[in-house]
Chain A
Amino acid sequence: MSTLTKYSAVPYTGPAPTNREPYVPTDAAAIDARGAELAAALSVEQETGQDLPTLLVPRENIVAVLTALKSAGYTMPLDLFAVDYPRREQRFDVVYQLYSLAKNERVRLKVRVGEDEPLPTGTGVFKGLNWYEREIFDMFGIVVDGHPNLRRILCHEAFQGHALRKDYDPAQRWLLTEKDVAKIIPKIDPRFENVDTDFERVTLNLGPSHPATHGTLRIVVTLDGETIIGCDQEIGYLHRCFEKSCETHTYQQAIPFTDRLNYCSAFINNVGYCMAVEKLLGIEVPKRAQHIRLILSEFMRIADHLVCIGTNLVDMGALTNFWYLFQPREEIYGLIEACCGARLLPSYCRIGGLAVDAPPDFLEKSQRLVDWLPKFINDVEKLVDKNQIFLDRVVGIAPITPELAIEYGFTGPCLRACGVPYDVRKASPYLGYETYDFDVPIADGGDTFARYLVRMEEMRQSLKILQQAIDRGMPEGAVIVDNPYVALPPKSKVYNEMESLIYHFKLIMHGIQPPVGEAYFQVEGGNGELGFYVVSDGTKNPYRVRCRPPCFQIYSAFPDMIIGQTIPDAIAALGSLNIIAGELDH
């Protein structure tokens, strides 16, 4: 914005807002052709004009279609959510998003469901759909037929109504107490049902406020001696209605809410959300803004991994590492604060770019930090890498096979620890990641140790990306698009030009009004694929914002990982999964 300090009377001549016109994705023809191919193969209808190949599946056929797609290579269930259109006869759109690792391709399935029509469960095909089906039951009241454990997941058991329905009044207040909840008694794993040991079976409650859970999570385990033979989780203690809040606020106002999803790497959430809306608007962010977004995202990823490894080692009694890792994290937050104005929750992205330019000494500070960081990572490596006490605690603990991890929809470091090299930055690059030279680290075993190794190497790879980004220097130009229908005009113009003042008022009063349609955009968050699905009806408020939080599915697999292990192993495993309650409870 510094280039615009002088008075200029040139009125804006760019494209006018595309309000209430349908959204057209960039390569619509190719997507529709692929969709038609799939639709013909599965003999279902196709919905055209979407940003992904989209199939319209009748409710009765969904399990058959899911099975067919799974055998065709779409092995990863990325997301399942619903959108409510109350004026329609069948008011809900249930949306599945599947991903094929082999073809690097996504497909979207839409099922129309009426208010009293049960949806057949897909848990028999994909285990990862379990919690998502509970979520649509909780939020929309869609009954899922045949689901093994259909109860509310994010809201309290005694909650009345379904919060994400359009006719739910968000101003209602509920007083819900513990008395209204049925006691959770975990089901005993069939492998241990008839095993007779000398020990008494005990049910133990961990959390929600417990130092080992790193957030408000509740785990109920049944123990046979020291062995965990049954486990059930309860989440939703940090539920703050992100998706509903977005519906009652403008597109721009939702950015501070995204900060609070994964608060360890808040800036990546900002980027993901803004890029989803930018995709819907069809605008490209200036190069300079992309460069700053990339640098800050990588710093945030390092900070996220530092927190994860540091706290995970504390769980195992290694407090020294925590201090060595939190010192560089503190400095990363210092850089973030000098650039964004806040340490933890930057709210620095804007739709169309960034709030202000980075400070002039930004690259210099980044370079100093990149040179300074590795010694702390190396120190921790020296402390724990060959330490037999540490290795005994992590090697072979809470393993998950690659097949099961994919079926659960794992992404990010936890999936890569199983040996699957899937990284959104490589698979569908954004912000120019394709031009950077970096490697995707994988490890074998999928255990706590593998997750630690992958995170350590990922920090080094992030440093490699950062070094390249700093060497390239900062591209010249503005940090936000010059389009007054999207971005606020610079203050110097607002005070000097009538048009800019009107644009300024109009944008704040009426907000950004993207074209009618829906778009999904995914970025690589600290924990894995972080996706935002934005549905616009052409007004200033999003019709629906869906956040795909990576640790939701990772945490849903937790019982499968810890059955047969002991409590201390479960705690070590929980730390290595990096469950962030803010993101989990979106």
Chain B
Amino acid sequence: MDVTRVSPGVVKVTGARMSVLDRLIIPQVVAGMLVTIRHLVKNLFNLEKLPTISYPEVKRVYSERFRGRHILTAREDGTTRCVACYMCSTACPAECITIEAGEDERTREKFPVRYDIDLLRCVFCGYCVDACPEDAIYMTRDYEMAIDTRARSVVGLRDLVVPPNFPVAPMGWRPYYGAMEKKGTAGGTGLGQPLRSAPFEDDAPPNPDLFRGNE
């Protein structure tokens, strides 16, 4: 295409000038084929760097900010951090969080008797994480949430609460403290070679910045 300036800030784009040879179709088809063949040869000798991923054998690694399935973090003693303050369910634009509060008779502290997230309603915006004043709800990089019935889309405390010192590696969107920023986020752009690796390292040490109890 040809670009000519018509006035300051405006350019006019016109189709490429066609020579007699171009009008014969075949030379341009050959020129196009050369582009395709160049890509083919380049990919053929560089198979391990193909831009496609052989999912599910190989998985894509998302960044530390990825908004995947939620978890509820736990204190050192194993109880959930959540104090059933309803902030997450208030902030939720999809109204997918249902909480029922109870009171611990010994400590007189509120805790959730029921905490359900309807993953089919959830829009994965991360507002619950931003709203939580207790660092109780985080999002992970887990994006595999296929289910076969609607009833199974509702996940409760049993599915959400993770043990204390849960590994940091699979964590996604969570409140930002600056400690993580130094490292930069993973994921993003390897230019045609997406980060595919390697299942998450399950025995990675927990990041002390994530848990206030460790301060």
Contact = CB atoms under 8 A, between A and B. Distances in A.
Nearest to B182: A360
Interface size range of chain A in the complex: 35 or more
Contacts of B192: 327, 331, 372
B181 interface: yes
Contact of A334 (B5, B31, B91, B190): B190
Contacts of B125: 255-256, 347
Interface string B137-155: 0000000000000000000
A492 B177 contact: yes
Contacts of B39: 324, 379
B187 A337 contact: yes
B124 interface: yes
B13 interface: yes
Interface string A376-398: 00010111111111010001000
A488 interface: yes
Contact of A456 (B1, B7, B11, B62): B1
B12 A443 contact: yes
Interface in A1-56: 1-2, 5
Contacts of A360: 181-182, 184
A420 to B, nearest CB: 10
A369 B87 contact: no
Interface stretch (B101-109, B126-134, B159-167): B126-134
B158 interface: no
B176 A357 contact: yes
A484 B18 CA distance: 61
A359 B181 contact: yes
A357 B182 CA distance: 12
Contact of A439 (B9, B172, B182): B9
B195 to A, nearest CB: 8
Interface stretch (A184-192, A303-311, A504-512): A504-512
Interface in A382-431: 382-389, 391, 395, 419, 421, 426
A102 B14 CA distance: 24
A355 B126 contact: yes
Given A334-B188, A338-B188, A457-B11, A383 B35 contact: yes
A357 B175 CA distance: 12
Given A359-B185, A444-B14, A257 B93 contact: yes
A546 B179 CA distance: 41
A442 B12 contact: yes
B9 to A, nearest CB: 6
Nearest to A324: B39
What is the size category of the interface that chain B forms with chain A? 35 or more
Contacts of A501: 133
Contacts of B198: none
A320 B189 contact: no
Nearest to A455: B13
A102 to B, nearest CB: 14
Interface string B12-27: 1111101000110100
Nearest to B31: A382
B177 A440 contact: no
Contacts of B25: 387-389
Contact of B178 (A2, A335, A339, A368): A2
B207 interface: no
B67 interface: yes
B10 interface: yes
B51 to A, nearest CB: 5
B36 interface: yes
A379 B35 contact: yes
Nearest to A328: B192
Contact of B28 (A253, A257, A387, A426): A387
Contacts of A495: 133, 212
Contacts of B135: 491
Contacts of A355: 126, 130
B188 A440 contact: no
Contact of B11 (A342, A345, A439, A508): A439
Contacts of A441: 3, 10-13
B56 interface: no
Nearest to A426: B9
A365 B181 CA distance: 15
A337 B87 contact: no
B83 to A, nearest CB: 12
B41 interface: no
30 contacts: A1-B178, A5-B178, A255-B93, A256-B125, A257-B93, A331-B192, A334-B190, A337-B187, A337-B188, A338-B189, A340-B65, A341-B63, A341-B126, A342-B124, A356-B176, A359-B63, A359-B185, A359-B188, A382-B35, A386-B18, A387-B32, A439-B11, A441-B12, A441-B13, A443-B12, A443-B13, A449-B15, A457-B3, A491-B176, A508-B90
Interface of A: 1-2, 5, 249, 252-257, 320, 324, 327, 330-331, 334-335, 337-342, 345, 347, 355-357, 359-361, 365, 368-369, 372, 379, 381-389, 391, 395, 419, 421, 426, 438-444, 449-450, 453-454, 456-457, 488, 491-492, 494-495, 501, 504-505, 508-509
Given A257-B93, A335-B188, 12 more contacts: A253-B127, A256-B93, A327-B192, A334-B189, A339-B185, A347-B123, A356-B176, A381-B1, A382-B32, A442-B13, A505-B133, A508-B87
Interface of B: 1, 3, 5-7, 9-16, 18, 22-23, 25, 28-29, 31-32, 35-36, 39, 51, 62-63, 65-67, 87, 90-94, 123-127, 130-131, 133, 135, 172-173, 175-178, 181-182, 184-192, 194, 212
3 A-B pairs closest in CB distance: A338-B188, A253-B93, A341-B65
